[in-house]
Structure 1
Amino acid sequence: MDSGDESDFYGIPSPVIFPYSSGEETAKELEERVDSFNIQDWWEQRKHVQLALRLQAMRQPQNNGNKAHLHNPYEGCAYAWQLTETVDAFLERLPPATTDESESCPCIFICNPWIERTPKVQAHNQHVRGSENEGPEEDKTDLPRFLAGGSERLGMVAAFADFMKTSSKSKTAVAREVNKAGREATGDLLDLALNLHVRCGKWMIFCPVHSVDETWALVAKATANNELGIAAKVAPRSTVDQRTERLICVYTADFSDKEDVHRVAGKLKQFGLAQPHGRPLYYKPDCYTYLGIGSNNAWGIKASIYNTSEMLGKS
């Protein structure tokens, strides 16, 4: 096996080798040959080369003359995909069905390499306990201000709820008023999140354990290939909670961008992950996660803002 074959065998593209040139061939002629070389045709002949390396090789010059480059905000993170490995190698290294949840592996993560986000080590969410592995942040994210303002707004709802409980109204009337106050707070929280660039959100897929590896492989490959959103994650195997389902989150950049959220939902439906007559998928903004807004919360706020039944219809 020659060196070129060996490189292809390990998933590494063989280098482009031009025939030996004598002194008669000028530097200008060599530059012309390089300029005329068609990268796309060359890769078309080598389709078996895995995605990660192919993406890196297909960098194209930008209008300003700089070359585009791939991004991985989770670079160096052991439980995330790295640009130095193929997606298949990543899936083999961290299969969710048999990878145990631990302090060193709280989740399994993959980012869209075509979208630049803040490196994980620099992100504000690293200081929010339990939310260190939410969607990768954008540069202008001001999470501390959002948490301060959002917590204050939720405090107003809680104070109103306490006041209503002391009133002479019936429990039904009190619950109705508290839920109304929560709905009103929802708009304020989402507006605040938009203004402070806490805009990431996720479609949540609850996948049966027996098919989690196959479903995750589908989501991971589509994420790396820029077909879904900005990132995705899956829950590893729990050693204490024998759940029959695993959560897979597919992150989008902006919960207010309904066109993009709808596009990703459509892709998930195309993949068979959002069944028209089955249980709908729900979309939750990360700002809710940061504030601890879950199901049956004390503020009467619905924990999701979209679902596939309403967004895609039942047909």
Structure 2
Amino acid sequence: MSSSVEEVDFSDDSSFYGNEDTKRELERQVESYDVNSYWELHPRMINTIAQKGIEQEKIEALKKKHIEKEALEMKSEERHEIKKEHPDVKTEEYPEVKIEKPHKRFKIDPAAAQDDLFDPLAGQFCARQLSETVAEFIKRVQPGESANVGPWLWVHNPHCPKEYRRSPGTAAFIQKGTRMLRDYLEVRSLLMSEQGAQIEAQVMSQLRPLQNTLRQDIYNLAKQERVTHGKWMLFPSARDVLSTWTRVAEATVAGKLGTGSKVAASTTSSDGSYLICIYTGDFSDEDDVRRVLKELVDMSLVPPGGRGIYYKADALTHLNIQSKNEYGLKASMYSSNELLPSHPKPKQSGKEPTTPKRQRQLTGYFGKSPGKSPGKPGA
């Protein structure tokens, strides 16, 4: 069965716009069309409103992408504070960082930026700038009133020694340190399964040498990857945080303390206290750690008696080692009561004085006797 297609001839005489009546109607509409009226109504048209919404969503998506990119380019330490709930790093870079609110920034004053001064957070709204005094910075952002600028408020010692200005290999340290912790847990699990019939105390006595080795290996790795900073920690109440932070910030900028200090922008503690960290450049430099502690004592920021205050290496912070952990590691490295035994503390009636356990452990970690100059971990 054959079929044929009728050929249509579109000649020059064909009517593109229709018949004469159609053309007259179109011409009438063109003559009567009010262009000004159209553009007055245009912003209120449903299609215009919908298109604006689509464009705004694109803009917000671009903003979010820019914010996340900026967060990934932040200093490793600050970036970790944001990601501290996710310490299990498997790659050389941190996982994607998401921030609900962008960190405010402002223009850097070229006159204040000097090559020989330490200013690692130049342009960051959360940090004191070289162009402003400590008083101006604290007036600008205060703990308890500045949660929208980031988790921490920072000041740095502008004359920080150059050896402490190098960028640490934080990502590599976390990756390798996490592997060390996993290896320990595997050995512990194997040991406990083999010693199932033994009492827990016997198993723990066998684990203790492994725990000491683990701690020493972590500190050795930290030195290798230049993750050497550590901090004394203060916990002032909400009533005292501003005055305490002001004194710490002024002493830090004046070069009396360590490399820098920070205060929590808001409190997450059940008792309403804030955390203030006073940093030193090398956790194994016991003389410098003690010097900063003495300065804090002279400033009356370390109350006499009681438990004192504690020093924690950033290495353990990066690995999320808290006071109670499954690895049997002590989270703090030094305490004020151990480094300054002459500082008044509670009397222990009926007990013979003994060498502090912390000092005995440090002897093994740093290859020295308490009171002598520090060496490298494991030396």
What is the TM-score of this pair, normalised by structure 2? 0.57
State the match for 2:284 in structure 1.
256
Structure 1 residues 146-183: Cα deviation after superposition (integer angstroms, max 9, x where no partner): 22321222122111221233222212223333343222
Structure 1 residues 168-214: Cα deviation after superposition (integer angstroms, max 9, x where no partner): 22122233333432222111111111122111000011112210000
Q: 1-side partners of 2:117 and 2:167: how far apart?
A: 20
Q: 2-side partners of 1:272 and 1:147: how far apart?
A: 36
What letter is aligned with 2:326?
A
What letter is aligned with 1:254?
D
Q: Kindly indicate whether the alpha-carbon contact (under 8 Å) linking 1:233 and 1:248 is maintained by their aligned counterparts in 2.
A: yes
Return 5+ residue gaps in structure 1 as ranges: 1-55, 60-66, 119-136
Q: 1-side partners of 2:130 and 2:290: how far apart?
A: 28
Aligned structure 1 segments of 4 or more residues deviating by more than 4 angstroms: none
**Higher mean Cα deviation, 300-309 or 287-296?**
287-296
Determine whether 1:234 maps to 2:237. no
Determine whether 1:149 maps to 2:176. yes
What is the TM-score of this pair, normalised by structure 1? 0.68
Q: Kindly indicate whether the alpha-carbon contact (under 8 Å) linking 1:110 and 1:223 is maintained by their aligned counterparts in 2.
A: yes
Residue 298 of structure 1: how far off its partner (Å)? 1.1
Q: Kindly indicate whether the alpha-carbon contact (under 8 Å) linking 1:285 and 1:305 is maintained by their aligned counterparts in 2.
A: yes
Matches within 5 A, 1:144-293: 144-166=171-193, 167-168=195-196, 169-238=198-267, 242-293=270-321
Q: Kindly indicate whether the alpha-carbon contact (under 8 Å) linking 1:157 and 1:178 is maintained by their aligned counterparts in 2.
A: no
Q: Which protein is bigger by CA-based radius of gyration?
A: 2
Q: Kindly indicate whether the alpha-carbon contact (under 8 Å) linking 1:280 and 1:309 is maintained by their aligned counterparts in 2.
A: yes
Matches within 5 A, 1:3-14: none
State the match for 2:145 in structure 1.
99
Alpha-carbon spacing, 1:213–1:117, altered in 2? closer, same or farther (3 Å): farther
Q: 2-side partners of 1:81 and 1:253: how far apart?
A: 19
State the match for 1:44 in structure 2.
none
Alpha-carbon spacing, 1:68–1:108, altered in 2? closer, same or farther (3 Å): closer
Alpha-carbon spacing, 1:176–1:245, altered in 2? closer, same or farther (3 Å): farther
Residue 110 of structure 1: how far off its partner (Å)? 0.8
Residue 68 of structure 1: how far off its partner (Å)? 6.8
What letter is aligned with 1:153?
M
Structure 1 residues 234-268: Cα deviation after superposition (integer angstroms, max 9, x where no partner): 11224x65533111000000001111000000001
Return 5+ residue gaps in structure 2 as ranges: 1-110, 345-379
What letter is aligned with 2:125?
A
What letter is aligned with 2:142?
P
State the SS of the aligned residue for 2:275: strand
What letter is aligned with 1:279?
R
Residue 138 of structure 1: how far off its partner (Å)? 3.5
Alpha-carbon spacing, 1:74–1:117, altered in 2? closer, same or farther (3 Å): farther
State the SS of the aligned residue for 1:217: helix
What letter is aligned with 2:205?
R
Q: 2-side partners of 1:170 and 1:261: how far apart?
A: 40
What letter is aligned with 1:149?
K
Matches within 5 A, 1:27-38: none
State the match for 2:374 in structure 1.
none
Q: CA RMSD in A?
A: 2.4
Q: 2-side partners of 1:249 and 1:241: how far apart?
A: 15
State the match for 2:122 in structure 1.
75
Q: 2-side partners of 1:73 and 1:140: how far apart?
A: 10
State the match for 2:328 in structure 1.
300
